[in-house]
A and B are shown apart, each in its own frame.
Chain A
Amino acid sequence: MEDKLLVLKCKRGSRDALGRIYRKYKSDLLILAIALLNEKSAAEDVVHDVFVTFVQSLEKFRLTGSLKGYLLTCVANRARNTNKAKQRQQNVVPNPAVPACSCANGPSQSIICNEELQQLSVAMAQLPYDQREIVMLHHQAAMTFKAIAESQGISVNTAKSRYRYGLDKLRLILDNEAKK
């Protein structure tokens, strides 16, 4: 219920409430964005855009489910668009050398990922985007396959099979990592 109050306060212009929502969910949102995009700066952009859009739509916004679920879905939608735009760019411009894991803690320290997140991101980067998204939404946002299928405009069976394929592939990737 606290989220409902925080949203209500935000609607009334409370800066403190917006700050509390940000602090409460920023990690979850960034983890999802990083796992989906495998890039910290792009993930930061996505979370930034999600928060700004959330505020812009506050007047008409009505919380019907969980706020976390709503924000995570927004991140997934934006990340999908970012990924599509990136793919289009790569089709036009010769593919620049993409680091194997650009979520590794390089010189930019604005977002620091722990070891597990780096491992997750490396593994996820090896999955097709569709599978990556379903695995993350199902596990991190606790979304049902039905909800995921609806949000992606696919059938529930497709969502389930993509999840299964993704999970099998992840198992192999993580096993290989462990062997190394």
Chain B
Amino acid sequence: MKPADRIKKLINKSDVTTSSQADNRILGDALEHLEKLKQKKLATTQPNIWRTIMKTGTKKLAAAAAIAIIVLGGVTFWPSGGSDNGKWWLGPPAAWGQEIMAALDTIKGVTCREQTVLVMSDGSEHTSSTWDILYVSSDSYRRDIYDGDFLREIQWYVPDGSGTLQHSIRYDLKSYFTHTGEGGFGNHDPVERMRFYVRLLDEADKLLGETVIEGCNCVGFEISAGKYGDNPENWVDCIWFDTETKLPVRMEKHGRPVTDQPDKTFTTIQDQFDYNPELSADTFIPEVPEGFINAHPDEIKASKEKEQKE
């Protein structure tokens, strides 16, 4: 045997057993420093300590919505009250829009629900069985995708150096997939979208009036998507504000085309907003459940299809 192989074999066969005393000393001290690091981080980013309100399943959504209502009901960003008749939205949007923007700047995190509604040629609507819960903090984004009551997938977008680590786990395929991409998660950020609409309110096409959403009195505005980008005029967006807190409670995008089905459109609805919720510290920490395989969902589907054909 070559000396190099011999030494390699010796190294490979070498082993140590550590006592709990040694483990406690090494790991214990490292953990102690990790706690210090956490405390230091907490001191600088206090509002990011969150407690889980919505952990799993649709059953808890109702509870989350109820909490959201309580939270929203209890927070008033506008001590000045607004116009004489209390209908602040009838005043110039430049003034109250600025107040909303300032309030949005103070938001450290949001959770909300996102649903898609398919609109048929006869105008009938079918809500997709797939819906999401979005968790957004100042630097991270998480999307829990449900199919009915079944949590099918979780996607995380978390900062990783100059890029964003995108990690997803598929419960239906028992798989996970990770890659680091460029840029952030801006397109997914509902708060960013709120800001975008508020900036456009000067150009709103329609005041939708008042209605009750999730138990709150709300006022809505309609803006044609033609007001931004190269979008057609029949793409319509709506945003609804709580008349008391002035925070958005619902956003809708209507009239978007369905690929290969020209007679249908779809509507995306974001609602059940919860501002500054307390979430558990691990909400934005990507997980790999025990036994899940590392593969892209497309690869798994292709291999399953191949198996079925054979």
Contacts and interface: CB of A to CB of B under 8 A. Distances in A.
Interface stretch (A14-22, A79-87, A93-101, A146-154): A14-22
Interface string B172-191: 00000010000000000000
B21 interface: yes
Given A47-B26, A56-B33, A136-B11, A27 B16 contact: yes
A58 B11 contact: no
Contact of A15 (B21, B34, B178, B288): B34
B285 A112 contact: no
Interface in A1-59: 1-2, 4-5, 8-10, 12-15, 18-19, 22, 26-27, 30-31, 34-35, 44, 47-48, 51-52, 54-56, 58-59
Contact of B37 (A4, A34, A59): A59
A14 to B, nearest CB: 6
A13 B14 CA distance: 32
Given A2-B288, A8-B158, A44-B26, A18 B34 contact: yes
Given A12-B282, A31-B16, A167-B4, A51 B26 contact: yes
B38 to A, nearest CB: 4
Interface string A120-141: 1001000000000001100110
B167 interface: yes
B161 A22 contact: no
A102 interface: no
B176 to A, nearest CB: 9
A114 B31 contact: no
B43 to A, nearest CB: 13
B7 A135 contact: yes
| Interface size classification for chain A | 35 or more
A123 B9 CA distance: 14
Contact of B3 (A4, A18, A111, A170): A170
A4 B30 contact: no
A5 B286 CA distance: 7
B14 A114 contact: yes
Contact of A14 (B16, B26, B161, B285): B285
Interface string B1-27: 001101110110111111101110111
Given A44-B26, A55-B33, A12 B285 contact: yes
A74 to B, nearest CB: 13
A1 B16 contact: no
Contact of B15 (A5, A48, A114, A140): A114
A14 B282 contact: yes
A176 interface: no
B7 A9 contact: no
Nearest to B161: A62
Nearest to B10: A120
A51 B158 CA distance: 24
Nearest to B33: A55
Interface in B185-219: none
A18 B32 CA distance: 11
B160 interface: yes
A9 B29 CA distance: 18
The 9 closest A-B pairs by CB, nearest first: A117-B14, A171-B3, A13-B38, A116-B13, A110-B22, A51-B30, A55-B33, A112-B17, A114-B15
Interface of B: 3-4, 6-8, 10-11, 13-19, 21-23, 25-27, 29-31, 33-35, 37-38, 41, 158, 160-161, 165, 167, 178, 281-282, 284-286, 288, 294
Interface of A: 1-2, 4-5, 8-10, 12-15, 18-19, 22, 26-27, 30-31, 34-35, 44, 47-48, 51-52, 54-56, 58-59, 62, 109-114, 116-117, 119-120, 123, 135-136, 139-140, 167-168, 170-171, 174
14 contacts: A8-B285, A12-B281, A14-B285, A22-B27, A31-B11, A48-B26, A52-B30, A59-B37, A62-B160, A110-B25, A114-B17, A135-B7, A139-B8, A174-B6
Given A13-B34, A14-B285, A120-B10, 16 more contacts: A1-B178, A1-B294, A8-B160, A8-B286, A12-B284, A18-B27, A19-B27, A44-B26, A54-B30, A58-B37, A111-B17, A111-B18, A114-B15, A114-B17, A116-B13, A117-B16
